[in-house]
Amino acid sequence: MCHLAFADLCMGIYLVVIATVDMLTHGRYYNHAIDWQMSFGCKAAGFVTVFASELSVFTLTAITVERWHTITNAMRLDRKLRLRHACIIMTTGWSFSLLAALLPTVGVSSYSKVSICLPMDVESAVSQVYVVSLLILNILAFFCVCGCYLSIYLTYRKPSSAPAHADTRVAQRMAVLIFTDFVCMVPISFFAISAAFKLPLITISDAKLLLVLFYPINSCSNPFLYAFFTHTFRRDFFLLVARFGLFKTQAQIYRTETSSCQHPTWTSPKSSRVMYSLANTLSLDGKQEF
């Protein structure tokens, strides 16, 4: 989660840089276009955003696969992921993201093609392969996330006596996660791949507008989906502010809920472990459901 937060922070820094340049050159960008696009600042902004985007996609995929592995192997303690496994996985993600962000600075595509400093140069065959490869990897990551969440949902539905409202809650949660990934990745990948093969379906101006609208969606939604909207965050928030005399009633509710939380009586030991894993890994609202 810290890796994901750092990637989203980097995306925020990129957006602040682009917004600042836009504000400072508003109405007279044509006087600064060449200087900005060829500057170190544009290259740095491009490096940060490609690194952030790839690290975010990689981390989201890793989190989803870890959830799937934990839930589908809930009774196999010998298959539990260890810290060393997580270190290896995230080291791989950082190495890949740094490499992807570094290549345009050494001549593979370029951050200077457009004013928003993304690697949209596909003039050479190497640049074309680079851009298409990144887009295809992002699409594959999306399908991997969809497949894992579908498997998790089917695993969750196995206990036939599970309450319907809990089942609906899980489906809604997964639908939101997949939808935000879809909105962020698919439109950009579709138009970008066509442009990479030199069959553009939209103009450069429209492409920049598309990127500005859809490119940051994941980074903007991740803090809400993985933190602010979770049961754990709300509990910790109310317990923290209660120390300053605020929201004491809500804090007491969470204290009581935590102390009285027990496993449901309707589940078998195996399904109880699956439910417990699902509740922990999905950070769902709800100890009431589980």
Mean residue pLDDT across the chain: 79
Q: How many CB atoms lie within 10 A of CB 285?
A: 16
N-terminal to C-terminal alpha carbon distance within the chain: 23
Residue type, 161: S
Percentage of the chain with pLDDT > 70?
Answer: 81
Encode pLDDT of 63-73 as tens digits. Answer: 889 888 888 77
Confidence band (pLDDT; 50, 70, 90) for 268? very low
On whether the CB atoms of residues 244 and 270 are closer than 8 A, the answer is: no
Encode pLDDT of 99-145 as tens digits. Answer: 999 999 998 888 988 888 888 888 888 988 998 899 889 889 989 98
Domain ranges of the chain: 2-282
CATH architecture group of domain 2-282: Up-down Bundle (1.20)
Does residue 216 register a pLDDT over 90?
no
Question: Can you give the pLDDT at residue 168?
Answer: 63
The torsion of the CA quartet 144, 148, 150, 156, rounded to 10 degrees, works out to 180
Distance CA 192, CA 187 (A): 8
Distance CA 210, CA 123 (A): 21
CA-angle at 194, arms to 190 and 199, nearest 5°: 150
Question: Can you give the pLDDT at residue 158?
Answer: 63
Handedness of CA 144, 147, 151, 156 (dihedral sign): positive
